Amino acid sequence: MSVTASSPAYETAEPLDPRVEALVNEVIGRVADKWTMIVLEVLTEHGELRFTRIGELACGISQKMLTQTLRQMERDGLVVRTVHPVIPPRVEYRLTDLGFTLAEAFCGVWQWAEKNLDRIETARAAFDAAKVK
């Protein structure tokens, strides 16, 4: 699903900048990515962490997926990667101010989910029961 200037729910007096539209769609795609959201949550809750520790706290993520996720988050300006000049090398990741603002925005989704958990579970149970009949 993409948001466009012609979407009925999105009406403004000014035309939408196509660069903004493209960025919104990219960010939605990234935020909708399970691992980006989990890594974002881990770094929000725990602060600066080493690669291995992020992997431990983001249960179920493979090293390859964690590497890809962190690289994309770094490219988007959401995290900073710091390599400490020690042997063996120590690499740590932390959220940038931009990353924290995304975490704050996503907090609303968590609050919505918490508030509506029972309603969603009830709707799912009703749907599943109707399909069985």
The neighbouring-strand residues paired with 42 are: none
Domain regions of the chain by residue span: 33-132
Please write the tens of the pLDDT for every residue from 78-122: 999 999 999 998 999 999 999 999 898 887 877 888 899 999 999
End-to-end CA distance of the chain: 31
Please write the tens of the pLDDT for every residue from 39-70: 999 999 999 999 999 999 999 999 999 999 99
Q: What's this model's pTM, rounded to 2 decimal places? A: 0.71
Q: Which fold has domain 33-132?
A: Arc Repressor Mutant, subunit A (1.10.10)
Nearest-5° Cα angle at 122, 116 to 123 = 90
